[in-house]
Every structure is written in structure tokens, then in C-alpha cells.
Amino acid sequence: QVQLVESGGGSVQAGGSLRLSCTASGYTNSRYFMGWFRQAPGKEREGVASIYIDGDNTYYANSVKGRFTIAQDMAKNTVYLQMNSLKYEDTAMYYCASATYRVGSVLRPQFYDTWGQGTQVTVSS
């Protein structure tokens, strides 16, 4: 079983940057996709970015394309989400997730079977 722990959240002014980290432990060999999701109060959880195990295939929500970058360090079992040009509407709890499936809708929460506890990102305007 995989355990995921996020870190790096915080408060930042609009236009600023943050980098989130997600470190996996346990039996990590079965995961094929790692994803970042976010959920604002009163809203559904939405996919932000996803990366395939090979590191060459990445996927982004339209709302973050060109501003966010997902990357991984396999040696450290860590996935990162670099967030630049942050906007007020990026404010949310951000979650890391892993999937044991190879094919599917990689920005949908239902595709993932293991979740971290979340880290809060607050952007002030």
C-alpha cells in the first residue's frame, strides 16, 4: 500500500509562486500515474495536473496550463507541482494522488485510488 504526504502549501500574494511536494512511501511499484487535485470550499474536487510514471507524459487542466508544472524525482519517490503566476482563484486545498491504472481519465478523481491528506494554498489578491 502506498502512503502519500504533501507539503509546501502556504499563503502567497497573487502573481507569486509556490512549489508543492508529494512523497510516496510503502509499496510504490504499482503506481502508474501521480496527480495533483484541488478543492475549494463548496466546490468539487478538480484535477490540476497528472504525470505518467515515465515522466514524459504530463496532463494539465486548462485553467493552469502555462502556469503550473508537474515533475517527479523517481529516486526520491516525490512528485512536485510548481505553481507560478498564482491567482486568487487558485486558492484551495491541494491533494496528491496515485493511480494503479495505466489507462483512463487522468484528471478525474475517480481514476485515483490513494490520496494524501492535503496541503492548503491561499492566494491573496
Tens of pLDDT, residue by residue over 73-103, are: 989 999 999 999 999 999 999 999 999 988 8
**For residue 65, what pLDDT band results from cuts at 50, 70 and 90?**
very high
Of 20-24, 33-37, 55-59, least confident by mean pLDDT is: 55-59
Round to whole Å and give the CA distance between 4 and 122: 21
Task: State percent of the chain over pLDDT 90.
Answer: 84
In this structure, are residues 78 and 124 in contact, taking their beta carbons and an 8 Å threshold?
A: no
Q: Which helix (H) or strand (E) is 122 found in, with range?
A: strand 119-124
Backbone angles phi, psi at 70, to 5 degrees: -100, 140
Q: Calculate ∠ Cα 107-42-116, nearest 5°.
A: 50
